[in-house]
Structure 1
Amino acid sequence: MDEMMQTQALYRDDAYAAATPATVIESSEAGVLLDRSVFYPRAGGQPGDTGTLVWEGGAMPVADTVKASDGSPLHVPAPGAPLPPPGTTVEARIDWTRRHRHMRMHTTLHLLCAAMPGIYATGNQIGAEKSRLDFDLPEPPTKEWVTEKLNELIAGDHPIGERWITEAELDANPGLVRTLSVQPPRGAGQVRLVRIGPEDAPVDLQPCGGTHVRRTGEIGRVEVLKMESKGKQNRRIHIVLAEDTP
């Protein structure tokens, strides 16, 4: 794919953009590349978006979104789905309900780092129904304590924003990285920081390329289902949105 034709990733500027007109650049059974997209490609533990590409006389269900070789969103068609030819104008529509749940869950995992300041994530998986965070901590608190602390932070309705720093600034502040398994993407010269809380006194601040809600209050109540041991010091915590519990 021509570097000059790299997809404009609209989700980076507005995680709430659920649809956009776009032009097909390349199209095959492996996936469809667009000149612009609201679809988030699978990365950093956050699943790729699903949805639909609609054009005059046709529609292609998007079963997954992954990264193309240049990092652009590659819209993977459902098996047997019709493909829009290159040059076609389409309406790219994500499954907003699923994406918004991912945003709520992803922000909750950031709040876990705020709830337990000493932890470093060793793995994570965000899901619409359930999410998990693996972390390195020999003596973790109880799941009841974590549930209460998370909901206190959520109820604080803290604003969420972002800013960009250089890779050199990140190297000078290694404490910003709270993950041991996934490192911030490098090579572009800049790294995106996601901030929860005010700029002068953030509740949490760490590199992240995923999508998040605008305020913590939008998450709603959450519940820690269980906490289990996954090694000598590694622990795994499972989280659901409280609305999904009986």
Structure 2
Amino acid sequence: MTEMLFRTEPYARECTARVVSAGPEGVVLDRTVFYAQGGGQPGDAGLLRWEGAEMPPGEMPPGEMPVTNAVKGENGTVLHVPAAGAPLPAPGAEVTAVLDWERRHRLMRMHTTLHLLCSLIPGAGVTGGQIGVEKSRLDFDLAEPPTKEWLSERLTALAAEDHAVGERWITEAELDENPNLVRTLSVKPPRGAGQVRLVRIGAEAAPVDLQPCGGTHVARTGEIGAVTVAKLENKGKQNRRVYVTLEG
């Protein structure tokens, strides 16, 4: 399995790692700061860099491999997908995995914003969603959403309140006893490990939002900045799509 450092160190921008395997489908490392695509959040991009000092002369010269995406591999691994024609590091080599940090941090801001959006539409199940660098969306099982103006104002105000964002783990049995914690109807929290990660915005005693999530988030909502609800779409009788954008 790949040790997924982004789960415990979401602000780590790079790490050293050992190459387990390498091929055109992707490079597997023993540890990584790259988030693997899932739950509506895109995989990270960046590069792998190596010096070549540990390899026999001529076998693997110094180089770097642009990473265009990170996706889930087999048996709990992360595949770092290379750009077309990029050189690959040799198995056993030590590399430095470097994130495109500006892109990652923006996705963290976006993801946290969608949690705040959930808090403003309580009781409505989330039927779909997608996190993007320029815009993100959530689909709600809802007859009539609030106005764009009201949502924009409240989202920006919640972000400016600079709520702390934290996490805790509960057992799958505890989640079964509290099914209202799950807002997503189309994507269920990952199960099978015995524990489920809860992401909390605000104080433990009275959270702004609390729900299972495996993605990356900012440490405080003040990092989000101003939020604009750009568009509301009717995607069916009980399906309303809400698009959000960020400044900066």
Q: Say whether the fold is shared (TM-score over 0.5).
A: yes
- Structure 1, residues 89-136: CA drift from partner, whole Å, max 9, x if none? 000001000000000000000001111112211111001111111111
Letter in 2 for 1:183: K
SS class of match (1:75): strand
Cα distance between partner residues in 2 of 1:70 and 1:138: 41
> Could you say which residue in structure 2 is the equivalent of 1:23?
18
1:32 aligns with 2:27: yes
Cα distance between partner residues in 1 of 2:76 and 2:210: 24
Question: Is the radius of gyration larger for structure 1 or structure 2?
Answer: 2
> Could you say which residue in structure 1 is the equivalent of 2:38?
43
- Structure 1, residues 36-61: CA drift from partner, whole Å, max 9, x if none? 10000000000000000000111000
1:121-136 paired onto structure 2 within 5 Å: 121-136=126-141
Runs of 4+ more than 3 Å apart: none
> Could you say which residue in structure 1 is the equivalent of 2:63?
58
Cα distance between partner residues in 1 of 2:154 and 2:114: 13
What is the Cα deviation at residue 70 of structure 1? 1.9
SS class of match (2:104): helix
What is the Cα deviation at residue 140 of structure 1? 1.1
- RMSD over aligned CA atoms reads 0.7
> Could you say which residue in structure 1 is the equivalent of 2:145?
140
SS class of match (2:133): coil
Alignment equivalent of 2:168, drawn from 163, 171, 181: 163
Number of residue-to-residue matches in the alignment? 238
What is the Cα deviation at residue 139 of structure 1? 1.6
- Structure 1, residues 189-230: CA drift from partner, whole Å, max 9, x if none? 100000000111111000000000000011000100010100
State TM-score, norm by structure 2: 0.95
Letter in 2 for 1:190: Q
Letter in 1 for 2:223: E
What is the Cα deviation at residue 72 of structure 1? 2.0
- Structure 1: state its 5+ residue gaps: 1-5
Aligned-residue identity in percent: 66
Letter in 1 for 2:189: P
Alignment equivalent of 2:187, drawn from 157, 182, 204: 182
Tell which deviates more after alignment, 40-49 or 63-72: 63-72
Contact residue 144 and residue 240 of structure 2 kept, 8 A? no
Alignment equivalent of 2:6, drawn from 6, 11, 14: 11
Cα distance between partner residues in 1 of 2:213 and 2:77: 17
State TM-score, norm by structure 1: 0.95
Alignment equivalent of 1:203, drawn from 208, 230, 233: 208
- Structure 2: state its 5+ residue gaps: 52-61
What is the Cα deviation at residue 242 of structure 1? 2.6
Letter in 2 for 1:181: S
